[in-house]
Homo-oligomer: A and B are copies of this chain.
Amino acid sequence: MQPIPPNYMAYDRTIVVFSPDGRLLQVEYARQMVKNGSTAIGIRLPDAILLGAVKIRMPLAVAESYKKIYAIDNHVGFACAGSLADARDLVGIARIKAQVNRITYGEQISVASLTKHICDRKHLVTQYAGVRPYGVGLLVGGVDKNGPRLFETEPSGTMIEWKAQAMGRGAEKAKRVLNNGYKDDMSMEIGTKLLLKAVKAGEKSITPENIEIVVVKKNKLKKISLGKNK
């Protein structure tokens, strides 16, 4: 993290204040929490989204319990970097939104609508006092009528759609791998290899056991490699 010059002091202590150079420092610090998190990656394939995330290995922990990829509905999932506690809150909000959509309209929520709902919530807490920004980034991957979609949401509430994107401490290096290797027509196998390569680029001494991969298809989320999806 670059040092904060002394005259910045005080522009960053409350959530709703601009600094003289036009920045919202609290939002930038929340982004830093995302950057401190372990790497998460999303890749769009012709008919699926690949979500991957790194988990720190904890010997006696039950692996499924600290997953970083969450199913929201049977056609969309979140990969997270940053505060897992904040992620859990947004996962809860997203699952309710998805079910409300099913009940109201009788169909799956579109991936873009779901992402917009999460971003509205993220933005709200950057403008009003009395609540802090979310310290978590989400890669929203899903498959709907428009085919596979991959969105990134970050603490400010901005949403961008990607073909492939990385978040967290290994993001810089992982993005370079993705930029060089991404192709629009990759098979599942080649896509998975690219994802693993990108993860390994940014995380030191990672082993396959520490990588969680989920394939999001039209009506199904499936965990690849270690552990069972729940």
Q: Contact at A62–B1, with CB atoms within 8 Å?
A: no
Nearest Cβ on chain B to A97's Cβ, whole angstroms: 16
Does A16 count as interface, using CB distance less than 8 angstroms?
yes
Convert A1-19 into 0s and 1s, putting 1 for each residue whose CB lies closer than 8 angstroms to a CB of B: 1001001011111111111
Does A99 count as interface, using CB distance less than 8 angstroms?
no
Alpha-carbon separation in the docked complex, A31 to B34 (Å)? 20
Q: Contact at A156–B19, with CB atoms within 8 Å?
A: no
Q: Contact at B60–A119, with CB atoms within 8 Å?
A: no
Also in contact, A29 and B36, with CB within 8 A (given A65-B159, A85-B119):
no
Nearest Cβ on chain B to A178's Cβ, whole angstroms: 6
Alpha-carbon separation in the docked complex, A50 to B164 (Å)? 32
Q: Contact at B133–A85, with CB atoms within 8 Å?
A: no
Does A123 count as interface, using CB distance less than 8 angstroms?
yes
Q: Contact at B18–A33, with CB atoms within 8 Å?
A: yes
Chain B residues within an 8 Å CB radius of A157 = 85, 88-89
Q: Contact at B18–A133, with CB atoms within 8 Å?
A: yes
Chain B residues within an 8 Å CB radius of A62 = 160-163
Q: Contact at A34–B22, with CB atoms within 8 Å?
A: yes
Given A9-B10, A15-B17, A24-B83, 12 extra CB contacts under 8 A:
A10-B13, A13-B14, A18-B33, A22-B30, A23-B33, A59-B179, A60-B164, A62-B162, A62-B163, A84-B156, A88-B123, A128-B131
Q: Which residues of A contact B (CB under 8 A)?
A: 1, 4, 7, 9-26, 29-36, 58-62, 64-66, 82-86, 88-89, 92, 119-120, 122-123, 125-135, 151, 156-165, 175, 178-179, 182
> What are 5 A-to-B residue pairs whose CB atoms are below 8 Å?
A1-B22, A17-B132, A86-B127, A89-B120, A89-B123
